[in-house]
Amino acid sequence: MNTKPIHAAFEPELAVLPLVSLLPTKRATDLERRSPRYRSIEGSLKEVGLVEPLVVYHKADHRGRHLLLDGNLRRLILMEMGQTEAECILAKDDEAFTYNKRLNRLATVQEHFMIVRAIERGISEEKLARALNVKVNQIKRRRTLLRGVCTEAVDLLDDKPVNPVVFDLLRKMRPSRQLEACQLMVSAATYTSAYAKALLVATHDDELVRRRKRPAPPIVTSADLALMERELKSAQEDFKAAEASYGSDMLDLVIATAYIAKLLSNSRLVSYLDENHPEIFTEFNKIVSVVAPGNTHNEKADALPR
């Protein structure tokens, strides 16, 4: 079986190069200089120093300059800080895309372990906060990020770009449900807090660390009961009054409708109403059509002289 040899993408040793000899592939804009990312890198360099070396193409040009593949903002900030040189990784490919394709940025879980190790080595939380350009309470939160989350779930999310809020939601679930939720996130390649909230909502009470609090039933006071009784009594009295007058009202309506129908049988009267009071004629027809549908009259036909 023939196998192709694997060539290293970078030189094994770091090189210390003058910053002025590094040629950036693009110029930093004013918007980038005002961005949170710029401030974070600046704080890290001032507090901790250069942790991630710059990446340059290993072959220099005829003037001894190297193409800068990664670290444009770090180079710029170091020069503003008065630094003249920096450690560099020498890449054998001369394209920034090729380098970025090989680079894995720090995941949320890995960032947690990095912060824990830094604190164990004596770096204060305040110094870490200044280095990362964040508030101290964020460092405290990242330090306890995995508390209450089972080891199996952590292993699944170890190298994933997980929203930190996801771990707050996982802590509300029992370990078996945590593992199941993480498996679903990995399968869907979705690590957002919204997706984790949906999984939490779909979790049965038995799989939660604390059962959901059900809203207490509304308390009906004696005053509420008395008010409802008065309203019911008033409605009953109105109903009885309507019931008592219903028969006589219907008789009056039938008699009035019969009279209107008789009027509309007079062609001369219909013609007069149609020409002088069309709105009254229309209403008369509506009354007759509702109460005595068989006695409706066609306006055009009834308007003809007999």
Element (DSSP H or E) covering residue 56: strand 54-57
| pLDDT number for residue 7 | 60
| pLDDT number for residue 102 | 47
Provide the H-helix boundaries in the chain.
Answer: 30-33, 36-47, 72-80, 96-102, 108-120, 125-132, 136-143, 151-156, 165-170, 175-188, 193-201, 222-264, 267-276, 278-291, 299-303
Pairing of the two strands 85-91 and 66-70: unpaired
Element (DSSP H or E) covering residue 67: strand 66-70
pLDDT digits (tens, 9 = 90+) for 228-273: 888 988 888 888 888 888 888 888 888 888 888 888 888 888 888 8
For residue 42, how far is the Cα from the chain centroid?
A: 31
Name the DSSP letter for residue 68: E
| pLDDT number for residue 103 | 47
Token readout for 107 is: 């995941």
Assign domain 15-102 to a CATH class: alpha beta
CB 291 within 8 A of CB 262: no
| pLDDT number for residue 219 | 81
How far apart (Å, rounded) are the C-alpha atoms in residues 76 and 259? Answer: 100
How far apart (Å, rounded) are the C-alpha atoms in residues 188 and 56? Answer: 36
Length of the chain in terms of residues written: 306
> CATH second-level architecture of 108-207?
Orthogonal Bundle (1.10)
| pLDDT number for residue 52 | 80
| pLDDT number for residue 304 | 39
CA 183 vs CA 179, 190, 199, 219, 269: distances in Å:
6, 11, 11, 44, 86
- The domain segmentation of the chain, as residue ranges, is 15-102, 108-207, 246-306
Residue closest to 44 by CA, chosen among 107, 120, 134: 134
How far apart (Å, rounded) are the C-alpha atoms in residues 35 and 20? Answer: 24
| pLDDT number for residue 291 | 66
pTM of full prediction above 0.75:
no
pLDDT in tens, the chain (306 residues): 455 555 667 788 889 999 999 998 788 888 888 888 888 888 878 877 887 889 898 888 888 899 988 888 999 999 999 999 999 989 887 655 444 544 445 688 888 888 888 888 888 888 877 777 778 888 888 888 999 999 999 999 988 889 889 999 999 999 999 999 999 999 988 999 999 999 999 999 999 998 877 777 778 788 888 888 889 888 888 888 888 888 888 888 888 888 888 888 888 888 888 888 888 888 888 888 876 655 555 444 444 343
Do the domains spanning 15-102 and 108-207 agree at the CATH topology level?
Answer: no
One-letter amino acid at 254 equals V
